[in-house]
Amino acid sequence: MEIKCRCGDKCIKPVSEVLKDIELFYKPCRDCKTEKIRKFSPLAEQINLDEIDNRFGNCKCGKRQLDIVMAHVLKVMIDEGIKDKKANLRNACVPLITPGYLTDYVPFLPENSLVILSSEMNKECAERVIKEVPEVKGVLKGDARKTVGIKDSDSSPHIYELLAGCDLRCDIIQTPYGALGIYKYQHEIHIEFPQVHSPKIEILEKALKDYNNPSVLDCTCGPGSLGITCLKAGARKVVFNDIWHPAIETTLINLEANGFPVKFSGSEEELIASGNNFEVYSTDIRELVNYLDEKYDICIVDTFPGVDTTEFIEAAGKLGKNVVVI
């Protein structure tokens, strides 16, 4: 399967390339500039806004400190009337770096390494941010408190609005079986921030320890993180399923990007694609029993926060010996 970003640019790279020198990706060089900006104090009281442009805080290495980049974004928002001059960095917008990699220092960003999310943004301001702030590759409008995606076939989906640029991001997830790179079109797939230890991965690791080369059904796979973790852990077979088609699209991207070649089935229903030891479906979890004819060692149920999992667990119980709710 050939994978290309919707924007037509080379946003998708093999994860092996993304991980190469990842520890240096956000590191400042000796000449990088820092700016001590108080996040809860009005930006206009700390810096002359007229001085902020793409040269402000820039270094010959091409990186700028995240706070400096956010100050540039906020300056544009103030210019456009989205924010007033009392606005501070903390209430400007949500910064989503890409690749999403946990650092113990404020990251210094190269070009096209940031997607921003704001509930107040408009298209004109977003297009200006993309044009004037080189680190920003995509601008979204939405409420970060609302989860993106769909619960089941009885629910309506919720997505953010992509106002400008490209919002494809890659998150680096650490697992006991090696690091994963998980791509997401962020207006369609829920936001997850990098952690030293992922609670979801820790729950899955405990379940996997009880088996040698298990068969796994990831009933609500999202972008594929947990199922791909199982493949890296040596599962003999993994079935990915999600009712949300954008989740399946990103699962296929992430399988390929993480080194698991995908072959399309030619169908948009039932079996979507497969590989050497995996299959990909897109249906309601309650309908899976109509398509699968075997019992799996582990069935993973990973739903949105606050969702009643009763029906999910019941459906998974018909297909697996051990239902793991994450």
Length of the chain: 326
* Calpha distance 21→105 (Å, rounded): 17
Residue 274 φ then ψ, to 5°: -155, 170
Do residues 326 and 226 make contact, with C-beta atoms less than 8 angstroms apart?
Answer: yes
pLDDT at residue 115, as a whole number: 98
Is 85 inside a domain boundary?
yes
Based on the domain organization, do 42 and 84 belong to the same domain? yes
One-letter identity of residue 13:
K
pTM of the model: 0.94
pLDDT at residue 155, as a whole number: 78
Based on the domain organization, do 97 and 151 belong to the same domain? yes
The percent helix, strand, coil of the chain (3-state, each to 5) is: 25, 20, 50
Is 26 inside a domain boundary?
no
The total number of structural domains that make up the chain: 2
The per-residue DSSP string of 16-36 comes to HHHHTTHHHHT---TT-----
Is 113 inside a domain boundary?
yes
What residues make up the domain containing 130?
A: 31-165
pLDDT at residue 265, as a whole number: 84
- Picking from 165, 186, 213, the residue at the C-terminal end of a domain is 165
DSSP state of 158: B
One-letter identity of residue 249:
E
Q: What is the CATH number of the domain that holds 201?
A: 3.40.50.150
Instruction: Render pLDDT for 230-265 as a digit per residue (tens, 0 to 9).
Output: 999 999 999 999 999 999 999 999 999 999 999 998
Based on the domain organization, do 160 and 202 belong to the same domain? no
Based on the domain organization, do 303 and 249 belong to the same domain? yes
pLDDT at residue 269, as a whole number: 63
pLDDT at residue 321, as a whole number: 85
Q: Where are the alpha helices (DSSP H) in the chain?
A: 15-19, 22-25, 66-79, 123-132, 199-208, 225-232, 245-257, 310-317
pLDDT at residue 268, as a whole number: 64
* Calpha distance 145→204 (Å, rounded): 26
Based on the domain organization, do 123 and 203 belong to the same domain? no
pLDDT at residue 156, as a whole number: 85
Residue 296 belongs to what H/E stretch? strand 296-301
pLDDT at residue 116, as a whole number: 98
* Calpha distance 32→256 (Å, rounded): 36
Based on the domain organization, do 228 and 304 belong to the same domain? yes
Is 15 inside a domain boundary?
no
Split the chain (326 residues) into runs of 10 and give each run's mean pLDDT: 89 96 95 93 97 94 97 98 96 96 94 98 98 98 91 82 98 96 97 88 96 96 98 98 95 98 81 96 92 94 88 93 93
